[in-house]
Amino acid sequence: MKFDSLLVHYGELSTKGSNRKEFIRCLVHNVRVALKAFPVEIKGNRDYILIGLGDQKPEPVIARLQEVSGIQRISLIYKTETPIETIQEAATALIATQPGKTFKVETKRTDKTYPLDSYGISIAVADAILDHTDLEVDVHHPDIVMKVTLRPGECLLSCQDYPGLGGYPLGMNGKVTMLLSGGIDSPVAAYSLMRRGILVDCLHFASPPYTQMAVIDKLKDLLKQLNVYQNDIRLQVVPFTKLQEAIYAHVPEPYCITIMRRMMIRIAEKVAKKNHCLGIATGESIGQVASQTLQSIVTINDVTSFPILRPLCVSDKLSIIETSKRIKTYEISIRPYEDCCTIFKPKKPKTKPRIDEAERYEASFDYASLIEEAVEGITNIYLSGGEEVEGKQIVCPNPGDLVE
């Protein structure tokens, strides 16, 4: 006898009373997508997702599930009938497969009509184990904890739990337009959003020939890595060269970056609304560079009333780097290609730009038509399961999320 199933415990469900159905629907969908490559049976219900392993080894399945958001923990379990003799027999056989010398039995009984109470079940199971094995009881520091969960009509036995990613199932908290540069921060910001159930639709501003084609390849590689957390991703590339040249030609150097960011936000808002996104997200971290001081953020943010999410706004650089290493985007992010050419980097950028000044400089050229032109020229790249694909191959928890 061996543990033959996995039990997926839902994440922050308790806080989501009325959204329970949506939570479960999204998570079951995401689990199915994540486990596509494994020959396992997936069944979701009100309380948990049960995954029948069959002949499949549990370890790779558990490892994959640990990358799916909305899962609190994963238990390796054996499902049995409820008569106490059956439970005793199964528990004894299963515990014999585990390494260790001491044990403890913990029982949770949701079926209140069961003849024995929780303590009674624990005693009965422990007695059986003591009778049939050499294990000894240690209730304080046991090597093995045999968990017995008694639900109406079924009993679940488990000895091992694995932590999940937490957060919400991807797709249940709407979607945002994510500004992706290719640096260290924006992929981490995207990951943070995904983990909290927000579907990420990516937008990149390309300024060839000032930026290189290699940047797009780098972005594709980053997104293929992020496919682990969001199986299907769209990258929209905005042709930004003309606008950037116009800024460079009309705006005093210290204000170039501020105005550039204002233009990016204007474009992002248009794109977001067109794509039915509920916000814009960036990898900004307050104080990190001139355009990310609070004063800069105020001036940049002034062009929109649309929400801008900044998941990393108060994160330390070191912890951002740590996360990027953990999600394996760091090595890609540090490739030398830059998203902004040195030609456009002011020597002394304004760290406290003023809204009225920015507006005055912007009035000196017709940026509105350049913005229209940029939005018109957007091209799409689709990535799914770590590969570049055609748009029609994209699947999301909600139809029409990334492809109309």
By CB under 8 A, name the binding residues for other proteins. Answer: 208-214, 245, 248-249, 336-338, 340-345
Nearest approach, Cβ of residue 46 and other proteins (Å): 53
DSSP secondary structure string, 67-130?
Answer: TSTTEEEEEEEEEE-SSHHHHHHHHHHHHTTS--SEEEEEEEE--TTSSS-HHHHHHHHHHHHH
Pairing assessment for the beta strands 154-166 and 71-80 based on DSSP bridges: antiparallel
With contact defined as beta carbons under 8 Å apart, do 168 and 69 qualify? yes
Peptide bond into 239 cis (omega under 30): no
Nearest approach, Cβ of residue 209 and other proteins (Å): 4
Nearest approach, Cβ of residue 244 and other proteins (Å): 8
Structure tokens at 41: 């049976």
Nearest approach, Cβ of residue 161 and other proteins (Å): 44
Nearest approach, Cβ of residue 313 and other proteins (Å): 23
Neighbours of 372 (CB within 10 A): 12
Q: Which of 132, 151, 142 is nearest to 91 (CA)?
A: 132
Nearest approach, Cβ of residue 339 and other proteins (Å): 10
Q: Is 404 exposed, middle or buried (0-12, 13-18, 19+ CB in 10 A)?
A: exposed
Q: Is 15 left (phi over 0), alpha (psi -120 to 50) or beta?
A: alpha
Nearest approach, Cβ of residue 245 and other proteins (Å): 6
Distance (Å, whole) CA 281 – CA 8: 30
Q: Which of 21, 6, 147 is nearest to 65 (CA)?
A: 6
Nearest approach, Cβ of residue 207 and other proteins (Å): 10
Whichever of 162 and 248 has its CB closer to other proteins, that residue is 248
Which 8-state DSSP code applies to residue 14?
Answer: G
With contact defined as beta carbons under 8 Å apart, do 201 and 312 qualify? no
Whichever of 169 and 239 has its CB closer to other proteins, that residue is 239
